[in-house]
Structure 1
Amino acid sequence: MSEDFYDVLGVSRDADEDEIKQAYRKKATQYHPDVSDDPDADEKFKKVKKAKEVLTDEEKRQAYDQLGHDRFEQAKKRGGFDGGAGGAAGGDPFGGGGGMGGMGDIFEQFFGGGGGRNANRPRQGSNLRTGLEIDLEDAFEGVKKQVTVRRPERCDACDGEGHPPGADVQTCPECRGQGQVTQVQQTPFGRVQQSRTCPRCQGDGQLYEERCGECGGDGVVHREAKLTVDIPAGIADGQTLQMEGEGAPGENGGPNGDLLIEVHVREHPDFERDGADLFYRTPVSFPQAVFGDDVEISTLEGTVEMDVPAGTQSGETFRLRGKGMPRLRRRGHGDLYVQVQVVTPESLNKEQREALEAFAEAGGEEVEVGQGFFERIKNSF
């Protein structure tokens, strides 16, 4: 996969925002680690996401187009630009002149820079993960299940502010109320100004005399939450369900993250599963296999009758259409494959023994009555 963001998404350099977002959705579906079989899916998904984040932001895209991929990434890592990056005096890549004024601290605006005007921008909360075990019957029918997850939640006592209402406040002396501290240093790329979130006030620009007694000033508390999740019919082992907004709380008014639930389907004592198809073994007697019969077969929605034709061999498999698992988010069901196993009797009464001896002799076999005979009968099927 190319490093160039336009190539990563497969769009032209003059693509508009809607085209970029559409391309991102397509690529994200293709490479999402939860659904992709590509061994490099995780890395490719990260590249796709990064490309979308840059190309759907007007300022980031402008910088990317002007600098090119390599210099853009290099400048991002170092927190600034070469003095001649934009071909203008003073090192402003957009010709702003005036040294570090205007857009001099460009990455503060593009990537947050650890502070600055973006220090208090809304941020979505983190996604949380948990697991859930269900039976094959649950996966067949589709059910509602409860999950319990311990998660951070916005503190009710302080409404997420980290301090009691009406607490005395003062301007942060370290950043002087700016919410950021700035450091200027000389680098191989020229004079660089780097801003980061003020470590003392965490970007608020203010300090409060009291901390919330409930959350200790964090603005969040950890609680157990019981949630009801819809398990769709046909879900497979290892698939992940997403509950939007049930993850960690956002910052500065941002939306909550999501809760990702990995579903594990327990093994069934009678059925084996392959996608939407099920496999089942049923015993039949020697006479049933020889003469044919209707036998009852268990399925996940009850019993059905299956015709065992005369002369059926042990190990032969029959297909019951539409008696398998529902196809997830698609119409119809898979099939149920029934393998017939002819059961050899372990003990016989006198009449049964004589009948089998006669059967063997009629077929031209010389029979030595004993275990060897029954072993031959068993092995012949």
Structure 2
Amino acid sequence: MSEDFYDILGVSPDASTDEIKQAYRKKATEYHPDVSDDPDAEEKFKKIQKAKQVLTDEDKRQAYDRMGHDRYEQAEKHGFDASDGGAGGMGGMGGDPFGGMGGGNVGGGLGDLFEQVFGGGGRGRRRPQKGRNLRTGLEITLEDAYEGTERQFTIERPEECDVCGGEGYPPSADATTCPECHGRGQVTQVQQTPLGRVQQTTTCRRCQGEGTLYSETCGECRGEGYVRREVTLTVEVPAGIQGGQTLRMEGEGAPSPDGGPRGDLLIDVSIEEHDEFEREGDDLRYRLPISFPQAVFGDTVEVPTLDGELEFEIPAGTQSGETFRLEGEGMPRLRGRGHGDLFVQVQIVTPEKLNDEQREALESFAEAGGDEIEVKEGFFEKIKRAF
């Protein structure tokens, strides 16, 4: 069985996708290891699958036809995504893992390395690159995080120059064909590599791939095509968001350098500290001060929540530091999956001053419990230590 994918499936190079799929089904039935008596059925079946995978994928088939079988196999062996002229990275990852976030052509990324080794002018076939992502911060209150909110904010970002329309040169500039690439925007060289004599096609450095040189640059943007400008945006902050999470506004980042889509704006959210509540994920914690009699006899009190006041029954005999759980009174969970809980920790407050009636009552209480006390040595301090 020949190594050529078309020969493996028994189709011509101009076969349609439907014809390739039909041929694959026929071959797969013939050489499936579970039904075939051929001693090499398993290996042949793998080759049939690989041929179908490549030839039914439009991008991969174009790369295969352009490069030929041997060079295509070499590209995949070395980890290149040949379907994108080498710009796809390694191991199936999208984008150039060494190319950074931006949209420029600066730097020797994996796509450049592929072009140097396998040639083929990959840059000329690339889709326009997405613009660079931008990042900013936004601080909100705990109430905002509880209810969700809509916030306006201002950032400074690159915008298309109004004077030159993003071209980098004024309309009055004289245009001439680049003598380096003769207007093609690319230059081609042939060099010897460990894989043999190959052709290298790269973007023309003199005209930056434009194919044209201009007599002057725009005075407003200095030839960049972009200027930094303040813009005001509005973002929807969902209920339940936590500090440290990031919101993404698609298409609100930097513009593309070659006509592609804008990058995104990433918004890092932080939440102000609250005077009453402490947040732990979707749960809230609140310290509730109560008096000694309330702890002893029990009471009904008002507990604040982020959704208003809530009645809470303090059971008789409550100890200082005891914590009670109020289910569903915490923060809303993202995407509407209920609420966390509110944990109320009771703290018994000892009065700093007592009138005669209060002092007498506490003395009687202590004596009824069998305590021997001497008021002159600090009865209040003893009570304070006890609780």
**TM-score normalised by length of structure 1:** 0.71
Residue 271 of structure 2, aligned match among 262, 265, 279? 265
User: How many equivalent residue pairs?
Assistant: 300
Tell me the distance in 2 between the aligned counterparts of 1:323 and 1:111: 63
Tell me the distance in 1 between the aligned counterparts of 2:294 and 2:206: 84
Unaligned runs of 5+ in 1: 1-54, 80-104
Equivalent pair of 2:75/2:81 in contact (CA under 8 Å)? no
Aligned to 2:292: 286
The structural deviation recorded for 1:61 is: 7.8
Q: Percent identity?
A: 65
Runs of 4+ residues over 4 Å off in structure 1: 59-65, 73-76, 105-116
Relative to structure 1, the CA distance from residue 342 to residue 251 in structure 2 (aligned partners, 3 Å threshold; closer, same or farther) is same
Tell me the distance in 1 between the aligned counterparts of 2:263 and 2:118: 20
The structural deviation recorded for 1:150 is: 1.3
The structural deviation recorded for 1:108 is: 4.3
- The one-letter code matched in structure 1 to 2:174 is D
The structural deviation recorded for 1:72 is: 3.5
Relative to structure 1, the CA distance from residue 110 to residue 216 in structure 2 (aligned partners, 3 Å threshold; closer, same or farther) is farther
The structural deviation recorded for 1:241 is: 0.3
Q: Does 1:117 align with 2:124?
A: yes
187-196 or 312-321, larger mean C-alpha shift: 187-196
Kindly provide the CA deviation profile for residues 57-113 of structure 1, in whole angstroms up to 9, marking residues without a partner as x. 52698589723754244999xx9xxxxxxxxxxxxxxxxxxxxxxxxx994499998
Tell me the distance in 1 between the aligned counterparts of 2:120 and 2:226: 24
The structural deviation recorded for 1:161 is: 1.4
Tell me the distance in 2 between the aligned counterparts of 1:314 and 1:57: 70
- The one-letter code matched in structure 2 to 1:305 is E
Query: Larger radius of gyration, structure 1 or 2?
Result: 2
Aligned to 1:328: 334
Q: Does 1:274 align with 2:276?
A: no
Aligned to 1:198: 204
Tell me the distance in 1 between the aligned counterparts of 2:58 and 2:280: 41
Kindly provide the CA deviation profile for residues 327-369 of structure 1, in whole angstroms up to 9, marking residues without a partner as x. 1112322111111101111221111111111100000111122
Aligned to 1:12: none
Q: Does 1:220 align with 2:226?
A: yes
Q: Does 1:373 align with 2:375?
A: no
Kindly provide the CA deviation profile for residues 135-185 of structure 1, in whole angstroms up to 9, marking residues without a partner as x. 111111111112221111112222211122353211001111110122322
Equivalent pair of 1:170/1:208 in contact (CA under 8 Å)? yes
Q: Does 1:308 align with 2:327?
A: no
Tell me the distance in 2 between the aligned counterparts of 1:67 and 1:181: 24
Tell me the distance in 2 between the aligned counterparts of 1:143 and 1:192: 58
Aligned to 2:251: 245
Equivalent pair of 1:172/1:205 in contact (CA under 8 Å)? yes
The structural deviation recorded for 1:258 is: 0.5
Aligned to 1:58: 60
Residue 74 of structure 2, aligned match among 67, 72, 79? 67
Kindly provide the CA deviation profile for residues 32-62 of structure 1, in whole angstroms up to 9, marking residues without a partner as x. xxxxxxxxxxxxxxxxxxxxxxx99526985
Q: Secondary structure at the match of 2:375?
A: coil
Equivalent pair of 2:63/2:82 in contact (CA under 8 Å)? no
Equivalent pair of 1:113/1:196 in contact (CA under 8 Å)? no
Relative to structure 1, the CA distance from residue 72 to residue 312 in structure 2 (aligned partners, 3 Å threshold; closer, same or farther) is closer
Equivalent pair of 1:250/1:256 in contact (CA under 8 Å)? yes
- Listed as ranges, the matches of 1:231-242 within 5 Å are 231-242=237-248
Equivalent pair of 2:117/2:193 in contact (CA under 8 Å)? no
Relative to structure 1, the CA distance from residue 301 to residue 72 in structure 2 (aligned partners, 3 Å threshold; closer, same or farther) is closer
**TM-score normalised by length of structure 2:** 0.70
Q: Secondary structure at the match of 1:329?
A: helix
Equivalent pair of 2:241/2:334 in contact (CA under 8 Å)? yes
- The one-letter code matched in structure 1 to 2:360 is E
- The one-letter code matched in structure 1 to 2:137 is G
Equivalent pair of 1:109/1:118 in contact (CA under 8 Å)? no
Relative to structure 1, the CA distance from residue 112 to residue 66 in structure 2 (aligned partners, 3 Å threshold; closer, same or farther) is closer
Relative to structure 1, the CA distance from residue 372 to residue 125 in structure 2 (aligned partners, 3 Å threshold; closer, same or farther) is same
- The one-letter code matched in structure 1 to 2:145 is A
Equivalent pair of 2:116/2:201 in contact (CA under 8 Å)? no
Aligned to 2:148: 142
The structural deviation recorded for 1:372 is: 4.8
Residue 193 of structure 2, aligned match among 178, 181, 187? 187
Aligned to 2:138: 132
Equivalent pair of 2:330/2:340 in contact (CA under 8 Å)? yes
Q: CA RMSD in A?
A: 3.1
The structural deviation recorded for 1:251 is: 2.8
- The one-letter code matched in structure 1 to 2:78 is R
- Listed as ranges, the matches of 1:34-183 within 5 Å are 57-58=59-60, 66-67=73-74, 69-73=76-80, 107-108=114-115, 116-118=123-125, 121-165=127-171, 167-183=173-189
The structural deviation recorded for 1:374 is: 3.0
Equivalent pair of 1:60/1:110 in contact (CA under 8 Å)? no
Relative to structure 1, the CA distance from residue 310 to residue 113 in structure 2 (aligned partners, 3 Å threshold; closer, same or farther) is farther
Relative to structure 1, the CA distance from residue 231 to residue 56 in structure 2 (aligned partners, 3 Å threshold; closer, same or farther) is farther
Unaligned runs of 5+ in 2: 1-56, 87-111
The structural deviation recorded for 1:301 is: 2.0
- The one-letter code matched in structure 2 to 1:214 is E
The structural deviation recorded for 1:116 is: 4.6
Relative to structure 1, the CA distance from residue 214 to residue 71 in structure 2 (aligned partners, 3 Å threshold; closer, same or farther) is same
Equivalent pair of 1:115/1:180 in contact (CA under 8 Å)? no
